[in-house]
Amino acid sequence: MITDAAGLGRARATAFVLPALVLIAVFLVFPALWTIYLGLTDYRLTGLQAANPQVVGLDNYTSALGDPRFLSSLWLTVAYVGGSAVIGQAGLGFALAWVLRTRRGTVRRLVEGVVLLSWILPSTVVGFLWFALLDRDGGTLNALLGTPGFAWLLDHPLLSIIVFNTWRGTAFSMMLYSAALENVPPSHLETARLAGANVFQQLRDVVFPLIRRHVLTNLLLISLWTFNDFTPFVLTGGGPEGRSEILPIYVYNIALRGGELGLGAAVSFLILLINLVFALAYLRLLRGRRRQEATAAAGGPPA
Amino acid sequence: MIRHTVGRLVSTVFVAVVLALFALPMLWLAAAPFDASPTITTSVPEFTLANFAAILDNPYALGSIGNSLIQGGGAAVLVVVLAALAAYALSRVSVPGRDVLLYLLLLLSSVVTGTAAMVPIFELATRLNLIDTHLGVILVVSGGLLPAAIFILKDFMDETPTSYEESARVFGASPLQILRHITVPLVRPGLATIGVWALASVWGGFLFQFILLRDPEKSPGSVILYTLYTEGGAPKLDLISTFSLLYSLPVVAMYLFVSQRYGFRFHGGIKR
């Protein structure tokens, strides 16, 4: 599959990749390594350790892993990713792509437009919009539902940020899946329908095998983005009583509010490791798929 | 036939509910800027344009939109060009460890761009004399956006057939010419999507702009929005809603332009 169709050659290929890699190395990899180093020190925002941090080895890691606040934050993050990325964004995004696939014209443009708008509006603006929606006393939602004084952000903080993030990010999955669905030949679906397959069976037997790669790419990206998403901070600040304190907000609270930069850096590294597990699982699934394809292709002409 | 009708009905109800859910939070943005005394509640406005006059009087408001344009536009161009070059090379030439490298960078980018690397980024920018410069913001945010951009674009490039490139090569086209005249037109929707995505993320970004820029003359709109409070700390809803609307219009306009002109889609290759 790897060919050098354009005749790039190693040297030119390197020259193409190099500018991006340099920028990434300086502004991404280097700060990351620095963060890993900070995680091994007692670096603080203020005080004696700010001027002269000492290396404390793995102390930060043991104290983070022993902190019940870290563990509860981890579970909140898992619920947040599962609820808003996997079920919310990917589920709703796929449903929209599937339903809109057969529609043309105004309805489709309108729905796609509104969903995309919620994705491209500036995050800072979006924060204010959701405040206006969920506000306890004058919020639009309470006015609509006839539940004045219901404090959504205080009573259901996790649910609020899950719905918020679903609203915010569904566009990406919707676009990716509608692109993927265009590659599913309508004749295959037609055949399945004539054979009496219902929608669920069509999805399971015809659609998913064909778009599996897209599903995996999508799930990986949105899980990573959601896992490291700081935006819910503008809605709840992690509260009340830490009930929506997902890991990125936990890091912010201990590192900048609490001033324990070393501990914050250590937790960031733990987050990186958790993300690594995600990505490895994904890579393995994708590899398995490639091998299947290779075996299938060996038997006949490539698709 | 009945099953078909029921299915159609269910999907119509579903579409209507989704439409309402997604439009609801935006109503406030459409109503409050035109209201003489906006509150947090969405209501039919007492129509006025005075809020727009008031925001224009703010010394930093208009300039901050210009700053956002420089920073967002600069980052979008940088990300699209560098990511396209890198994704093309990675897609066409086999480099050992390529996939692993891409995944590692993607992981790093999603973790590091958060609050985690704030201190190192600030120290780095200070030492490189990038504090209070547009360039500093552009370079820092581009570093964070590039891995995902390369990752997505490589997917596009992998799906474009190489046969065109082979024939162009037979006729003596250089690799850069092939990239420019054959591959770029084929993946143009992908490039447009990445460009809009990059600009929109910088446009709404707050954290790095807040850390790297001290001078309000250089601050983008996303930072200026948080200065529109009274001295007592209460939000000035008239100014905030009006500026929010003004600040949203350029990204919306850009999205409409790009989707009209290039199509805003996640697929590459020839239409099958």
Task: Report domain extents, chain B.
Answer: 59-261
Eight-state DSSP code of residue A58: T
HEC profile of A131-166: HHHHCCCCCHHHHHHCCCCCCHHHHCHHHHHHHHHH
Residue A10, classed as helix, strand or coil, is helix
CB contact under 8 A, B200 and A14: no
Long-range CB pairs of A96-102 (<8 Å, 24+ gap) are A96/A170, A96/A174, A96/A177, A96/A178, A96/B18, A97/A173, A97/A174, A97/A175, A97/A177, A97/A178, A97/A180, A97/A181, A98/A177, A98/A181, A98/A203, A99/B11, A99/B14, A99/B15, A100/A178, A100/B15, A101/A178, A101/A181, A101/A182
Look-up of token digits 């224009």: B56
Instruction: Determine contact, residues B110/A227, Cβ cutoff 8 Å.
Output: yes
- Angle, to 10 degrees, between the axis of helix B118-127 and the axis of helix A30-38? 120
Q: CA of A293 to nearest chain B CA: how many angstroms apart? A: 15
What does the buried/exposed string (b/e) look like for A222-232 if buried means 16 or more CB atoms within 10 Å of the residue's CB? bbbbbbbbbbb
| Cα within 13 Å of Cα(B222), Cβ side | 28
Report pLDDT for B114.
Answer: 64
Report pLDDT for A4.
Answer: 66
Report pLDDT for A300.
Answer: 38
Report pLDDT for A45.
Answer: 75
CB contact under 8 A, A183 and B252: no
pLDDT 10s digits, B74-110: 999 999 999 999 998 888 887 777 777 887 888 777 7
Report pLDDT for B137.
Answer: 93
Tokens standing for residue A64: 């983070």
Residue B161 has pLDDT above 70, yes or no: yes
B208 touches chain A (CB under 8 A): no
Spatial distance between the Cα atoms of A118 and B123, rounded to a whole number of angstroms: 34
B130 touches chain A (CB under 8 A): no
Eight-state DSSP code of residue A83: I
pLDDT 10s digits, B252-261: 888 888 877 7
CB contact under 8 A, A6 and B244: no
Q: CA of A13 to nearest chain B CA: how many angstroms apart? A: 5
Best residue in B78, B106, B111 for a mutation probing chain A (most A CBs within 10 Å): B111
pLDDT 10s digits, B52-81: 777 777 778 788 899 999 999 999 999 999
- Residues 24..53 of B with a Cβ closer than 8 Å to A: which? 24-29, 32, 39-42
B194 touches chain A (CB under 8 A): no
Tokens standing for residue A235: 């809605």
Q: For A3, name the nearest residue in chain B, comparing CA atoms only.
A: B92
* Cβ-Cβ contacts under 8 Å, B206 against chain A: 123-124
CA dihedral over B173, B174, B175, B181, signed as positive or negative: negative
Residue type, position B211, single letter: I
ipTM of the complex model: 0.83
Tokens standing for residue A124: 């800072």
Eight-state DSSP code of residue A46: S
State mean pLDDT over B21-36. Answer: 84
Residue B272 has pLDDT above 50, yes or no: no
Q: For B204, name the nearest residue in chain A, comparing CA atoms only.
A: A122
Q: Write out the DSSP string of chain B.
A: -HHHHHHHHHHHHHHHHHHHHHHGGGHHHHHGGGBSS--SS-----B--HHHHHHHHSTTHHHHHHHHHHHHHHHHHHHHHHHHHHHHHHHHS--TTHHHHHHHHHHHHHHHTTTTTHHHHHHHHHHTT-TT-HHHHHHHHHHHHHHHHHHHHHHHHHHS-SHHHHHHHHTT--HHHHIIIIIHHHTHHHHHHHHHHHHHHHHH--HHHHHH---TTT--HHHHGGG-B-TTS-B-HHHHHHHHHHHHHHHHHHHHHHHHHT---S--S---
Residue B35 backbone phi and psi in degrees, to 5: -95, 140
Report pLDDT for A182.
Answer: 81
B138 touches chain A (CB under 8 A): no
Look-up of token digits 């929707």: B189
* Cβ-Cβ contacts under 8 Å, A184 against chain B: none
* Cβ-Cβ contacts under 8 Å, B89 against chain A: 8, 12-14, 16-17
Tokens standing for residue A78: 């898992």
- Residues 124..163 of A with a Cβ closer than 8 Å to B: which? 124-126, 128-133, 135, 137-141, 143-144
* Cβ-Cβ contacts under 8 Å, B31 against chain A: none
CATH number of B59-261: 1.10.3720.10
Task: Report domain extents, chain A.
Answer: 7-31, 67-259
Instruction: Determine contact, residues B197/A115, Cβ cutoff 8 Å.
Output: no
pLDDT higher at B97 or B269: B97
Report pLDDT for B263.
Answer: 66
A271 touches chain B (CB under 8 A): yes
Spatial distance between the Cα atoms of A89 and A172, rounded to a whole number of angstroms: 8
Residue B269 backbone phi and psi in degrees, to 5: 85, -175
Report pLDDT for A3.
Answer: 53
Between chain A and chain B, the number of residue pairs with CB atoms below 8 A apart is 287
CB contact under 8 A, B251 and A120: yes
Q: For B166, name the nearest residue in chain A, comparing CA atoms only.
A: A5
Over chain B, what is the mean pLDDT? Answer: 82
Q: CA of A113 to nearest chain B CA: how many angstroms apart? A: 9
Spatial distance between the Cα atoms of B97 and B105, rounded to a whole number of angstroms: 12
B260 touches chain A (CB under 8 A): no
| Domain A67-259, CATH number (from 1.10.3720.10, 3.40.50.300, 3.65.10.10, 3.40.50.2000) | 1.10.3720.10
Report pLDDT for A303.
Answer: 34
| Cα within 13 Å of Cα(B21), Cβ side | 17
Instruction: Determine contact, residues A28/B105, Cβ cutoff 8 Å.
Output: yes
* Angle of CA points A14, A17, A21, to nearest 5°: 120
Spatial distance between the Cα atoms of B166 and A13, rounded to a whole number of angstroms: 16
Report pLDDT for B54.
Answer: 76
* Cβ-Cβ contacts under 8 Å, B19 against chain A: 110-111, 114
Report pLDDT for A243.
Answer: 86
Report pLDDT for A88.
Answer: 93
Report residues of chain A scoring pLDDT below 50: 1-2, 297-303
CB contact under 8 A, A34 and B265: no
* Cβ-Cβ contacts under 8 Å, B83 against chain A: 20
CB contact under 8 A, B83 and A32: no
Report pLDDT for A81.
Answer: 93
Look-up of token digits 């997902």: A246
Q: Is A247 exposed, middle or buried (0-12, 13-18, 19+ CB in 10 A)?
A: buried
Over chain A, what is the mean pLDDT? Answer: 83
Look-up of token digits 């292709």: A297
- Residues 169..198 of A with a Cβ closer than 8 Å to B: which? 175-176, 178-180, 182-183
